[in-house]
Structure 1
Amino acid sequence: MQVLIILSSNDPEVKWNAVRFGNFLLNEGEDVTLFLNAGAVDLYAGDSEAFPIAEQAKMFALSEGVLVA
């Protein structure tokens, strides 16, 4: 199945969870596209120890997830 996740929040926890969800779907064999809109375009803003967005985004890209901004 093809899945599109539209992310428009700049909240670090929301961004982290959206990318984690994308990684979960990729691990389940789905084709995932993550579309960044509005405040989410700066995906790495808010990256921290509590919300490691960059780490999740790297896993997303290495797992052949598609990131569109």
Structure 2
Amino acid sequence: MQILLILSSADPEIKWNTVRFGNFLLTEGEDVTLFLNGPAVDLYAGDSETFPIAEQAKLFDLSEGVLVA
């Protein structure tokens, strides 16, 4: 199944959880596209030890997820 996730929040926790959810869907065999809109275009803003957005984004890319901004 093809799944589109739309992320439009600048909140680091929401960005982190969205990418984590995308990674979960990829491990379940789904085709996932993550569309960044508005303030979410700066995906790595807010990356921290608490919310490791960059780490999840790298895993998303390596798992063949599609990122569109």
| Global fold match (TM > 0.5) | yes
Once residues 48 and 39 of structure 2 are traced to their aligned partners in structure 1, the CA distance between those partners, rounded to angstroms, is 17
Deviations 1:2-23 (A, max 9, x none): 0000000000000000000000
1:7 is aligned to: 7
Q: Whole-Å Cα distance in 1 between the matches of residues 34 and 21 of structure 2?
A: 10
CA distance in 2 between partners of 1:53 and 1:10 (Å): 12
Give the aligned partner of residue 23 of structure 2.
23
Alignment of structure 1 residues 1-69 onto 2, 5 Å = 1-69=1-69
CA displacement, residues 48-67 of structure 1 (integer Å, 9 cap, x when unaligned): 00000000000000000000
Q: What TM-score results when the alignment is normalised by the length of structure 2?
A: 1.00
Output the CA distance in 2 between the equivalents of 1:50 and 1:63.
22
CA root-mean-square deviation: 0.1
Give structure 1 stretches of 5+ with no counterpart.
none
> C-alpha separation between the residues in 2 aligned to 1:52 and 1:43?
11
Report percent identity of matched pairs. 84
1:65 alignment partner AA: G
Q: Which runs of 5+ in 2 are unaligned?
A: none
Q: Give the distance between the partners of 1:18 and 1:28, measured in 2 at CA.
A: 15
